[in-house]
Amino acid sequence: MNNLIQKYNIPGPRYTSYPTVPFWDNDGFTKQGWIDTFQRSFDESNEEEGISIYIHLPYCEALCTFCACNKRITKQHSVEVPYIETVLKEWKLYVDLFSSRPKIKEIHLGGGTPTFFSPDNLKRLIDGIFEYAEVAEGYEFSLEGHPNNTTREHLQALYDLGFRRISYGVQDYDIKVQKAINRVQPFENVKRATDEAREIGFTSVSHDLIFGLPHQTMEGMTETINLTKQLNPDRISFYSYAHVPWIKGVGQRGFHDEDLPSPELKRALYEEGKKMFEEMGYFEVGMDHFALENDSMYQSMKNHTLHRNFMGYSSSKTQLMVGLGVSSISDSWYSFAQNEKTVEEYEKSIHNGELSVFKGHILSEEDLIMRRHILNLMCNLETSWANETMKFDDLERIKIMLKGMVDDNLIEFVEDGLIVKEEGRPFVRNVCMPFDKRMIDNEPETRIFSMTI
């Protein structure tokens, strides 16, 4: 395994989209082009499956130095109401462009720290969304919560609004690791937040853990997972720490590079974690995720209905996802569009009566084909080009690029298709990369992705 780690541990995308953001054709993108595609997507899909909404709530009271998200650090909670008012104005701009009343299948509150906002203001936000929309059948509303500041009042307010899934950022229980990443939260806080969510009625509680953080050891990781076992979350996200200080600057310079585990130890942390999760009754889902057998994410994997987008893995699919808030990314299936990255620029455009979109990508027919293949691999660990709509011109090149993975018994080419073997699951990002024609045709001159392992 160590030889394979050395061979395949290269910079690569996480494929929450294709094309990935660095290879969007911004020159060929227009705001009107985005509007045309999301109106098309809405008309095609709203009645049948509804739409998804991602709302970015960027504020945090303290900076976690492992975090690569767009955030604004402040203890001034006076920012809450103006920001929510702006998000609701943005939503109304979209509503005015829809041909009928939207049906909302999914809402996800991300950040930042969504629970930075008071329960009353979160209620104000969601009530404002549904002033112009209705709930779709089989809806799923979820949020990210910080165990230190998610209160019973938060949980009750969100439960009353229809939220049933919450993901707590745990990362690691080792106090040395917590101090290095400026994220100190005792086990007791996580237990309280988990127990209260279940007492109130949340049906899915997820814990996010990260391997590859500074100062992590095998002993410490084992203890973190044993403590997690005591709380038995419905899902566990086991993320590889993405060390990208050249992109995020000072936010990821709270420790030295030599404090990070070696690639071999990092992979061993993952393998031991995976083994422990399986012994605890969890099943690996896609990449990074583990779920109990009765969880909807595991069931969707078994049914081949697992989906992946900028919100991560989802147990249901909508063709259209509208991103609201600063830096949010929207996805119409036919195009992507990203909002302004600073709160000031975002608010300025919305208050001028304009969508805050400042860049994006309109997918070509070739993009759509490759997107489907990469989604199949990331979600189902297999893909097929037997269907005419899945055929492409690069098959021989892809087979040549993946020959080493065939020889290493990680993947198998079958008639008109490709299967990732169990041994190849840790390398699924590498399997996808030969399908990434945009990246291959525009090979980056500098490093822009985290390591795949």
For the residues 291-314, what does the mean pLDDT come to? 89
d(CA 100, CA 103): 9
For the residues 310-317, what does the mean pLDDT come to? 84
- The answer to whether residue 425 sits within a structural domain is yes
Tokens of 31: 């705001």
Decide if pLDDT at 248 tops 60. Answer: no
- The answer to whether residue 210 sits within a structural domain is yes
Q: Is 432 annotated as a binding residue?
A: no
d(CA 5, CA 7): 5
Q: How many domains is the chain built from? A: 2
Residues 334 and 434 in one domain: no
Decide if pLDDT at 252 tops 60. Answer: no
H or E element in which residue 300 lies: helix 296-302
The pTM is what? 0.92
Q: Is 337 annotated as a binding residue?
A: no
Provide the 3-class DSSP secondary structure of residue 304.
Answer: coil
Q: What is the pLDDT of residues 33-43, one digit of tens each?
A: 999 999 999 99
Residues 24 and 136 in one domain: yes
Q: What is the pLDDT of residues 78-101, one digit of tens each?
A: 999 999 999 999 999 999 999 999
Does 390 or 267 have the greater pLDDT score?
A: 390
Q: What is the pLDDT of residues 287-296, one digit of tens each?
A: 889 999 999 8
- The answer to whether residue 242 sits within a structural domain is yes
Of 309, 341, 362, the residue that ends a domain is: 362
Residues 417 and 357 in one domain: no
- What's the confidence (pLDDT) of residue 390? 92
- The answer to whether residue 84 sits within a structural domain is yes
Q: Is 198 annotated as a binding residue?
A: no
Does 249 or 295 have the greater pLDDT score?
A: 295
Q: Is 66 annotated as a binding residue?
A: yes
Band of the pLDDT at 202, cuts 50, 70, 90? very high
Decide if pLDDT at 312 tops 90. Answer: no
Q: Which domain holds residue 116?
A: 17-362
Q: Is 141 annotated as a binding residue?
A: no
Q: Is 20 annotated as a binding residue?
A: no
- For residue 345, what is the domain's CATH number? 3.80.30.20
- What's the confidence (pLDDT) of residue 109? 97
Q: Is 54 annotated as a binding residue?
A: yes
- What's the confidence (pLDDT) of residue 324? 98
Does 315 or 275 have the greater pLDDT score?
A: 275
Q: Is 171 annotated as a binding residue?
A: yes
Tokens of 339: 């909002």
Band of the pLDDT at 264, cuts 50, 70, 90? confident
- The answer to whether residue 428 sits within a structural domain is yes
- The answer to whether residue 4 sits within a structural domain is no
Percent of the chain with pLDDT over 70: 94
Q: Where are the alpha helices (DSSP H) in 141-186?
A: 152-160, 175-180
- The answer to whether residue 2 sits within a structural domain is no
Of 312, 332, 362, the residue that ends a domain is: 362
Q: What is the pLDDT of residues 141-172, one digit of tens each?
A: 999 999 999 999 999 999 999 999 999 999 99
Q: Is 113 annotated as a binding residue?
A: yes
Does 442 or 411 have the greater pLDDT score?
A: 411
Residues in the chain: 453
- What's the confidence (pLDDT) of residue 433? 94
Q: Is 208 annotated as a binding residue?
A: yes
Q: Is 230 annotated as a binding residue?
A: no
- The answer to whether residue 449 sits within a structural domain is no
For the residues 59-63, what does the mean pLDDT come to? 91
DSSP state of 249: G
Residues 209 and 315 in one domain: yes
Q: Is 168 annotated as a binding residue?
A: no
Residues 279 and 150 in one domain: yes
Integer CA distances (angstroms), 268 to 54, 381, 420, in order? 34, 22, 21
Integer CA distances (angstroms), 168 to 25, 49, 200, 234, 322, in order? 35, 28, 16, 12, 23
- What's the confidence (pLDDT) of residue 249? 47
Band of the pLDDT at 316, cuts 50, 70, 90? confident
Across 187-196, 255-264, 418-427, the highest mean pLDDT is recorded for 187-196
- Whether residue 19 is preceded by a cis peptide bond, meaning omega within 30 degrees of 0, is yes
> What integer best gives the mean pLDDT of the chain?
92
d(CA 418, CA 421): 10
Of 362, 384, 417, the residue that ends a domain is: 362
Q: Is 212 annotated as a binding residue?
A: no
CB-based contacts of 139: which residues, under 8 Å, 6+ apart? 50, 104, 105, 106, 107, 162
With b for 16 or more beta-carbon neighbours within 10 A and e for fewer, the 82-108 pattern comes to ebbbbbbebbebbeeebeeebbbbbbb
